[in-house]
Chain A
């Protein structure tokens, strides 16, 4: 089975622009979470979606938004990019079952804002 896939792998954007990152979960997984990992730090939780509904939100500004599609894939959108948004953006999928919460991470999208 394929793991979690993310696209694109790398992205360079200019301040003020908008970006969309994509994630495809493992087949059968209904929950997707997004994380931001700045160099030298651990992943910071942005969102969690389960069955197309937002189930958790981290302390990120409203410039960050996400959605989950009927096939459980997900998009993370960031508007009005700032230099500080430069980071590795990780997607993780899980079955969404309470007893598990075992998350499988993708390789990430490296976003550079200049």
Chain B
């Protein structure tokens, strides 16, 4: 079965702290993985994506993610968060027959 798990449902950090959000997937085929972000009152938007090649992917606003095949993980990181990073973050997998699977999301609250 294909699925995505995000174990951190709610994360609270102070500004300048480092961030790592976990994402694990279940899928035996070629993976296409994504991180989306939803800022308060805004649409879902793409942060970064992994298709192939370098497992360390850089996205917008200083975010990056590392694909670790042996761990079935695609964790999102940022060295120093800002108050403006307060949002909900979703990990997603494109699986067989173009089906997309989203995790349940992680709400990040950055305290100024």
Q: Chain A residues in contact with chain B, CB under 8 A?
A: 3-4, 33, 35, 40-45, 48, 55-58, 90, 92, 99, 101-108
Contact = CB atoms under 8 A, between A and B. Distances in A.
Contacts of A57: 97, 99
Nearest to B6: A42
Contacts of B97: 55-57
A43 B88 CA distance: 12
Chief secondary structure at chain B's binding surface: strand
B104 A42 contact: yes
A13 B66 CA distance: 44
- Which 6 interchain pairs have the tightest Cβ spacing? A42-B102, A56-B98, A105-B44, A45-B100, A43-B102, A105-B43
Interface of B: 4, 6, 32, 36, 43-46, 49, 51, 90, 92, 94, 97-105
Nearest to B45: A105
A105 to B, nearest CB: 4
A43 to B, nearest CB: 5
Given A56-B99, A57-B97, 19 more contacts: A3-B43, A33-B100, A35-B102, A40-B104, A42-B6, A42-B105, A43-B44, A45-B100, A45-B101, A55-B98, A56-B97, A56-B98, A101-B49, A103-B46, A103-B100, A104-B46, A105-B36, A105-B43, A108-B43
